Amino acid sequence: MFQLTDRVALVTGASQGIGEAIARALAEAGAKVVLAARNQEKLAAVLAGIEAAGGQALALGMDVADAAQVKAAFQKATERFGRLDILVNNAGITRDGLSMRMKIEDWDAVLSTNLTGAYLCAQQAIPSMLRQRWGRIINISSVVAQMGNPGQVNYVAAKAGLIGLTKSLALELASRHITVNAVAPGFIETEMTQALPEKAVEQLSSRIPLGRLGTPADVAGAVVFLSSEEAGYITGHVLAVNGGMYMA
Ligand code: NAP
């Protein structure tokens, strides 16, 4: 439905899960997609899948928490495709634990990847978007940024930080027709949530009005929409994709 022909998108954390689904969906909508993550073997498999389906993509190894790697990857992306229209900050990790006992390394790792990483990528994406006077930045936050979650103080702080980053960037960039939005997924079936025991999944599902966990495709659909021309009057928004489990 939404056409992204001639658009160039970069998706972080595209080697699996939600990021992979977002990359595939953007490619299906016609965008050329730069796939970024640390695991190059997994990226190569995603790239092969997109090309087999007739899409165009480029895989780049990149740790979002490393400013030099981020800069180098964005340079390679613009050398290859000449522009960047859409940035999806999706890379994320968890290092859960009760705050009283949380190690500073676990706090730092989650903040660096989930929040600083998004900022570093946005900084590299903005110049191209400013030149074009068109851009879309989409930050993958989480329902827990709005609800809070015991045992995830680092993750929740980073995901709530992303919402603040989204709103401030939206204000800074609106005059250049660059929109900045966040997507806040609920519980989505990926490796990140696979560790949950079956009973916990049952209990969780019963608290979700739509009666099931979400899929990566559910999140990807929201990202394609926010990337589209049709979403051009939406900025600074947090779009919940959570089956109704939390209504902010
Ligand atoms: P996942 O399956 O664990 O995938 C995480 C992705 O992030 C992987 O591609 C990983 O690739 C990449 N990544 C991690 N650290 C990175 C780094 N330093 N640099 C570059 N890439 C990095 O998780 P997911 O469930 O798809 O989650 C995707 C996003 O959605 C995350 O931001 C997560 O917080 C958010 N989210 C997930 C849920 C859920 O229920 N699953 C709910 C709300 C929000 P490499 O390991 O190859 O680098």
For 203-238, the pLDDT digits (tens) are: 888 999 999 999 999 999 999 999 999 999 999 999
Q: Token pair for residue 61?
A: 């190894």
Question: Topology of 8-241 in CATH?
Answer: Rossmann fold (3.40.50)
Q: Tell me whether residue 233 is one of the annotated catalytic residues.
A: no
Predicted local distance difference test score (pLDDT) of residue 196: 80
Is residue 93 within 6 Å of ligand 1 at its C-beta?
yes
Q: Which residues of the chain have pLDDT under 50?
A: none
Residue 223: its pLDDT value, please? 99
In this prediction, residue 1 carries a pLDDT of: 78
Amino acid 200: pLDDT: 79
| Structure confidence at residue 33 (pLDDT) | 98
- State the distance from the centre of ligand 1 to the C-alpha of 14, rounded, in angstroms: 8
Q: Are 232 and 175 in contact (CB under 8 A)?
A: no
Cβ(91) to ligand 1 under 6 A?
yes
pLDDT, residue 198, reads: 85
Listed in sequence order, the DSSP H helices in the chain are 17-28, 40-52, 67-81, 104-111, 117-132, 144-147, 153-173, 191-194, 198-206, 216-227
pTM: 0.98
The number of angstroms, rounded, from the C-alpha of 64 to the middle of its chain's C-alpha atoms is 12
What pLDDT, on the 0 to 100 scale, is given for residue 159?
99
Planar angle of CA 92, 97, 101, nearest 5 degrees:
130
Element (H, E) at 137: strand 135-140
The backbone torsions φ and ψ at residue 123, rounded to the nearest 5 degrees and listed phi first, read -60, -40
